[in-house]
Chains A and B, each alone.
Chain A
Amino acid sequence: MEITNYVVLAAVLFAIGATTVLLRRNAIVVFMGVELMLNATNLAFVTFARLHGDLTGQVLAFFVMVVAAAEVVVGLAIIVTIFRTRRSASVDDVNLLKG
C-alpha cells in the first residue's frame, strides 16, 4: 500500500469531521464530528510512525484516545445538562455569551 493513501484518507476524514462540526446544529452530531477529526489525526500519527519506523506517533495516538475518552465523558454530560434545561440539543440555542 502506498503511504500517501493513508495520509489522504486521514485528510478526507478530518475534512468531513470539520465540516460536520461547522455545519450541523445538533450537539450530538457536532460531537461525532469532533471524534472523527480526532481519529483522522490518530490515523495520520500511526501512518507517520510507520513511515519513520518510530513509535512516538503510536504513543501519541494512545494519548489522543485517552484524552478523547475523557472529553466524551465531560462533553456528553454537558450536552445532557443543556438538553435538560433547554429541551433542545441545538448548539445555536446556547448563545448566552452573545456580545
Chain B
Amino acid sequence: MNDVIGLAPWLIGFPLIGAAVLLLGGRATDRWGHWLGVLASGAAAVVGFILLFRMIGTPAEERAVDHSLGTWLSAGGLDVDLGLRLDPLSMTFVVLVTFVGTLIHIYSVAYMDHDVDRRRFFAYLNLFVAAMLTLVLADSYLLLFVGWEGVGVASYLLIGFWDTGRPTARENAVAAKKAFVMNRVGDMGLIAAMAILFATVGSVGFADVLPAAGGLSEGTATAVGLCLLLAACGKSAQFPLQAWLGDAMAGPTPVSALIHAATMVTAGVYLMVRSGPILEAAPTAQLVVVVVGAVTLLFGAVVGTAKDDIKKALAASTMSQIGYMMLAAGLGPAGYAFAIFHLLTHGFFKAGLFLGAGAVMHAMGDQTDMRRFGGLSRFLPITWITMGLGWLAILGIPPFSGYWSKDGIIEAAFIPVDGQPWRAWVFGTVAVVGAAITAFYMTRLFFMTFGGRRPRWTENQHPHEGSPLMWWPLVFLGVGSAGLGLVLGIGGTFTTWLEPVVGHAEHHEPVLPVPVIIGATLVLVLLGAALAFRMYAVQLVPEEAPRGSFLTRAARRDLYQDAANETLVVLPAHGIARLVQVGDRDVVDRGWGVLPLAVSWFGAMFRKVQTGYVRSYAAGMAGGVLVIALVAWLVVRLGAGLGGAQ
C-alpha cells in the first residue's frame, strides 16, 4: 500500500488541474477542452483503481492509511495537518466518484455538443469531481469542509449553467441560488459541529476525534451528532432541507446525474457513516437520523408518484433512496455497510437512469413531460434496455443490484435497537412501504416513457438514438446496475470490505424471520409495479394531467414544501428584517438625531448675538471690560478685607 500512496494526491490533483487549465485557458482551449476534462477525470479513475487493487491486496487491518502532506495551519491550540485518509470507505467513494464521473464526462461530450460553453461546463465538472474527492479523502473535518464547500460551489455553477439566453434562464439562476442557500443552512451545522469538537476534543482530525468519541458526554455527542445531521440534511437533500433538489433539475442532465449518483447528495451519507462513532455515543441523535431518513424516504416516494417531469420524478426518487441510506446510517454498525452499499449501487443505477432520461430528452427535443412520451422502446432500444436494468435495480428485484443493498437496509431496519421492538416495527414498515411506492413510481416512469400503445408526442418528433459517446456510458452503467450487487453482495463481500472502518456488527435477529421480510417486500414491490403497469401501460395515459385527488395535487406541488418554507422561514425572516430596519431607522437613527438637533438649536439661539452691527460688538466688548473690571475690583476689595481681618 505504501509504495503507491504517493499517487493519492493526484486523485484530487488531476481534475483540479483540468479545471484550472480550462478556466484559465479561456477560449483558447475551446476546441479540445472537453477532451482534457475527460482525460483529467479518467486519469483520476485510473489512479483510483490502482489504489483500490493495491488495497484489496493488503491485509484487512493494514488497509487504513493516513497520508500526511504536512502542516496546514497552526493557530494557537488548533493544529490541522493537511492529510488524506485512504481506507475501504474512502476508496469506495473514490472509485464510485471517478468511474461514474468519467462516464458522465464522456456522455457530456456528446450531450453538450452544441453548447457554445462546453469547455466551461467541463471545467465545472472537473471542479465538482475534485471537490468531491477532497471531501471523501480528507483526514479531518476541516479539510472535509473544504471539499464540502467546493461541492456546493460547483453544484451552484452547474445548476445555473444555462443562466443566459434561454427562456428559463431566470428560473435556472434562481434554482442555483436556492440550492446554494439551502446548502449554506446545512454548512452552518458542520461548522458548529467542528467548533464543539474542537472545544471538547481539541482537534478536528478524524484520527483524534473518532477514537475519542466514546469518551464524550452524551449531551456533547448528541449536539455534535445533530449538527452533523443538519449538515448532511443540507447536502443530501433530506427533510427538512430537501426543497432544493427538485429545482436543481434546472441544470443540464449530466449535472443531475453527477449530483444524484456520484457527488453531492452522497456526501451527507458519507459524513454520517464517517462520524459513526460519534453517533453511536448519542442514541438520541441516532434516532433522529433514522426518523429523518424514514420521513424523507416516504416524502420523496410520494412526490415521485405524481411528477410528470421525468427529471423531477427521478429527483424525488433520489431523495427517497438517500432517505434509505440515512435510515441505515442511523441504525449503527448493522446499517453502515448497507448504507454505503446502497449508495454504491444507487450511484450506478441512478446515473444510468438520469443519463437515460437525458438520452430520451435528447431524442425528443428537450421535452421532459412524460405525458408527451410513450412508445419509445422501438426507437431507443439501447436506452430502453439500460434504463430497464436501472428500473429493475431500483425496484429491488433479485438478482439486480438494488435488491442486495436495499434488502439489506430493510432487514436492518427490522432489527430492534436497544431492545425496543416498536422501532423495528415502525421503521421496518416504513422501509417496506417505501419500497412498494418506489416500485409504483419507477414503473410509472418507465412505462410512461417507453411503453404505452400509442405515442403522445408533440409534432415533428423523430426520436433516434444518440452518438456512441452517449450510449456507451449507458451500457457500462446498465451492466453495473445489473451485476454490481450480485458481485459485491453475495456472501457479504462488501460488508467484510467495509468492516475495518465501520466495525463489526453484532448479529441480531429481526422481529420477523428474514424470508418473511424478503417475501413481503417482493410481494409489495410487485403489487406496486403491477398497479403502475395497469394504470400507465394497459390504460391510456391522458396528455393533460387529470386533476387528481388531494394527495396527487399535493405531491405534484412537492407536498407544499415551498409554501411551507415560505411561511415558516422566509416570511418570519422578512418580518425580522423589517423589524430591524424599522428599529434602525426609527429608534437608532432618530435617537442619534437628537444630538445634531440640540447642536443646531443652540446654534440658532446664539446666532442672534451676531447682529452684524459693529457698534453692538463694540458695546459687548465695552460691557465685558466693565464686568471684568468690576469683578477684579470686587476681588481686590474682598482680598483686602480678608487680609485686613487676619
Q: Is the CB of A22 within 8 A of B612?
A: no
Give the interface segment out of A43-51, A59-67, A69-77, A88-96. A88-96
Q: How far apart are the CA atoms of A91 and B606 in the complex, in Å?
A: 22
Q: Is the CB of B618 within 8 A of A99?
A: no
Residues of the A chain whose Cβ atoms lie less than 8 Å from the Cβ of B610 = 97-99
Q: Is the CB of B615 within 8 A of A95?
A: no
- For residue B178, give the distance in angstroms from its CB to the closest CB of chain A: 61
Binary contact readout B591-632 vs A (1 if CB under 8 angstroms, 0 otherwise): 000000000000000111111111100110010000000000
Q: How far apart are the CA atoms of A30 and B613 in the complex, in Å?
A: 13
Q: Is the CB of A91 within 8 A of B609?
A: no
Residues of the B chain whose Cβ atoms lie less than 8 Å from the Cβ of A91 = 613-615
Q: Is the CB of B619 within 8 A of A22?
A: yes
Does A18 interact with chain B (Cβ within 8 Å)?
A: yes
Q: How far apart are the CA atoms of A22 and B608 in the complex, in Å?
A: 19
Residue of B nearest to A94 (CB): B614
Does A10 interact with chain B (Cβ within 8 Å)?
A: no
**Choice from A18, A21, A25, A98 contacting B612 with Cβ under 8 Å:** A98
Most buried by A among B608, B614, B618: B614
Interface footprint category on B: 10 to 19
Q: How far apart are the CA atoms of A22 and B612 in the complex, in Å?
A: 14
Considering only residues 8-49 of chain A, those with a C-beta below 8 Å from chain B are: 18, 21-23, 25, 30
Q: How many residues of chain A have a CB within 8 Å of chain B? A: 14
Q: How far apart are the CA atoms of A21 and B614 in the complex, in Å?
A: 10
Most buried by B among A23, A25, A97, A99: A99
Residues of the B chain whose Cβ atoms lie less than 8 Å from the Cβ of A97 = 610, 612
If A21-B618, A22-B619 touch, does A99 touch B607 (CB 8 Å cutoff)? yes
Q: How far apart are the CA atoms of A95 and B615 in the complex, in Å?
A: 11
Residues of the A chain whose Cβ atoms lie less than 8 Å from the Cβ of B618 = 21-22
Q: How far apart are the CA atoms of A21 and B618 in the complex, in Å?
A: 8
- For residue B203, give the distance in angstroms from its CB to the closest CB of chain A: 70
Residues of the A chain whose Cβ atoms lie less than 8 Å from the Cβ of B609 = 99
**Choice from A21, A23, A92 contacting B613 with Cβ under 8 Å:** A92
- For residue A99, give the distance in angstroms from its CB to the closest CB of chain B: 3
Q: Is the CB of B615 within 8 A of A22?
A: yes
Residue of A nearest to B614 (CB): A91
Residue of B nearest to A27 (CB): B614
Residue of A nearest to B603 (CB): A99
Residues of the A chain whose Cβ atoms lie less than 8 Å from the Cβ of B611 = 95, 98-99
Residue of B nearest to A24 (CB): B615
Q: Is the CB of A95 within 8 A of B622?
A: no
Residues of the A chain whose Cβ atoms lie less than 8 Å from the Cβ of B606 = 99
Residue of A nearest to B613 (CB): A92
Residues of the A chain whose Cβ atoms lie less than 8 Å from the Cβ of B613 = 91-92, 95
Q: How far apart are the CA atoms of A22 and B615 in the complex, in Å?
A: 5
**Choice from A22, A30, A94 contacting B622 with Cβ under 8 Å:** A22
Residues of the A chain whose Cβ atoms lie less than 8 Å from the Cβ of B607 = 99
Q: Is the CB of A21 within 8 A of B615?
A: yes
If A18-B622, A22-B619, A22-B622 touch, does A96 touch B614 (CB 8 Å cutoff)? no
Q: Is the CB of B612 within 8 A of A96?
A: yes
Residue of A nearest to B610 (CB): A99
Q: Is the CB of B614 within 8 A of A99?
A: no
Q: How far apart are the CA atoms of A23 and B606 in the complex, in Å?
A: 24
Q: Is the CB of B615 within 8 A of A92?
A: yes
Q: How far apart are the CA atoms of A91 and B612 in the complex, in Å?
A: 10
Residue of B nearest to A96 (CB): B612
Residue of A nearest to B611 (CB): A98
Residues of the A chain whose Cβ atoms lie less than 8 Å from the Cβ of B619 = 22
- For residue A22, give the distance in angstroms from its CB to the closest CB of chain B: 5
Residue of A nearest to B619 (CB): A22
Considering only residues 71-90 of chain B, those with a C-beta below 8 Å from chain A are: none
Q: How far apart are the CA atoms of A98 and B612 in the complex, in Å?
A: 4
Residues of the B chain whose Cβ atoms lie less than 8 Å from the Cβ of A23 = 615
Q: How far apart are the CA atoms of A92 and B614 in the complex, in Å?
A: 7
Q: How far apart are the CA atoms of A30 and B616 in the complex, in Å?
A: 13
Residues of the B chain whose Cβ atoms lie less than 8 Å from the Cβ of A92 = 613-615
Binary contact readout B266-285 vs A (1 if CB under 8 angstroms, 0 otherwise): 00000000000000000000
Q: How far apart are the CA atoms of A22 and B622 in the complex, in Å?
A: 9
Considering only residues 461-498 of chain B, those with a C-beta below 8 Å from chain A are: none
Residues of the A chain whose Cβ atoms lie less than 8 Å from the Cβ of B614 = 30, 91-92, 94
Q: How far apart are the CA atoms of A25 and B613 in the complex, in Å?
A: 10
Q: How far apart are the CA atoms of A94 and B612 in the complex, in Å?
A: 7
Residue of B nearest to A25 (CB): B615
Most buried by A among B612, B619, B622: B612
Residue of B nearest to A91 (CB): B614
Residues of the A chain whose Cβ atoms lie less than 8 Å from the Cβ of B608 = 99
Residue of A nearest to B608 (CB): A99
Residues of the B chain whose Cβ atoms lie less than 8 Å from the Cβ of A98 = 610-612
- For residue A74, give the distance in angstroms from its CB to the closest CB of chain B: 16
* 14 A-B residue pairings within 8 Å (CB atoms): A21-B615, A21-B618, A22-B622, A30-B615, A91-B613, A91-B614, A91-B615, A95-B613, A98-B610, A99-B606, A99-B607, A99-B608, A99-B609, A99-B612
Please list the 4 inter-chain residue pairs (A to B) with the smallest Cβ-Cβ separation, ordered nearest first. Answer: A98-B612, A95-B612, A99-B610, A99-B607
Which A residues are closer than 8 A to B by beta carbons? 18, 21-23, 25, 30, 91-92, 94-99
Which B residues are closer than 8 A to A by beta carbons? 606-615, 618-619, 622
Q: In the complex, given contacts A99-B610, A99-B612, what are 17 additional A-B residue pairs having Cβ atoms less than 8 angstroms apart?
A: A18-B622, A21-B615, A21-B618, A22-B619, A30-B614, A91-B614, A91-B615, A92-B615, A94-B614, A95-B611, A95-B612, A96-B612, A97-B610, A97-B612, A98-B612, A99-B607, A99-B609
